[in-house]
Amino acid sequence: MPINPDAVGTRGDPVDKSWTSTDCLLYALGVGAGSIEPTGFELEFTTENSTEVTQRALPTFAVVAGFGLSSAFNKVGTFNPFMLVHGEQAFELHAPLPVEGQISTVTTITGIYDKGSGAVIATESVSTDKATGTALFTNRASVFIRGEGGWGGERGPSGKAEPPARDPDHEVTYSTRPDQALLYRLSGDRNPLHSDPKFAAMAGFPKPILHGLCSYGFTGRALLHTLCDSDPDRFVSMAGRFSKPVFPGDDLTVSLWALDDGEAFFQTSTQRGEVVIDAGRCTYR
């Protein structure tokens, strides 16, 4: 059957997941941590046994910890998974993110929109600590499925937002590695689009592209170090829209505009001047 707009409100079965200190370390390396000075190579995120350093989890690890296919998608209808692309990603931390944890995640379909050339499916996933039952974080995401629109449904929000009409208050540039996608995929996303040249060519790319959530993690590091003085406990939320692909080896420049009351607008661009994450919002203490 085609996309089913009546699936809005469908709640999936709980999905249990756990992670270890090693998972947090591997994720941090996958999003470039450890490559800059003078922050001591971000040892609190990349080691577990450095002298007088306590391991911490990067805030954006929440998008990996909460990642997983929910049974809620069984009600969405049938579509070609190769036509699906990640559109937007947001998360909010409700408590400090531990370096080891066990969670239960429940995902709800919050919107299905007709964009003409495709369909957008929006979800909200709440992850709770298995031991205490308290909410640790919430992920909100949308995916765009090419070729599945045109049924006359609601178009939904545009997702567009422009930065303030002034120069950014901060700019941070990180370089990705040529093998960045091969390292990041070890955190769970094994889509061959990011590793197999032949698969990437079938999708219309000259070579494998970097995971959107990897670029998102690089961006989150810039927000953490610039706005929160590298303290994850000050990081509250982050949201952004994926607008263009990134290739391993690209430089990523994160431009930040400080707003009122612990909020910032950001966008991420490559050395080619292409904005790859836009409509970015971050809140912090």
Q: Which residues are tagged catalytic? A: 189, 194
Q: In what order do the strands lie in the sheet with 170-175?
A: 15-19, 101-114, 118-129, 135-146, 84-93, 235-242, 275-284, 263-270, 251-258, 170-175
- Provide φ and ψ at 119, rounded to 5°: -115, 145
Whose tokens are 């941590």? That residue is 33
The string of DSSP letters for 30-92 reads HTTTTS-TTTGGGHHHH-SS-TT------TTHHHHHT----GGGGGT----GGGEEEEEEEEE
**DSSP 8-state secondary structure symbol assigned to residue 191:** -
CA gap 186, 234 in Å, rounded: 28
State the DSSP H helix or E strand holding residue 24, giving kind and residue range, or none if neither: helix 21-30
78 neighbors 2 (Cβ within 8 angstroms): yes
Q: Using CA atoms, how far apart are residues 122 and 140, in angstroms rounded to an integer?
A: 7
Tokens, residue 125: 């996933």
Rg (CA), the chain: 19
Backbone angles phi, psi at 105, to 5 degrees: -120, 130
Helix/strand/coil for 268 = strand
Whether a cis peptide bond, with omega within 30° of 0, leads into 38 is: yes
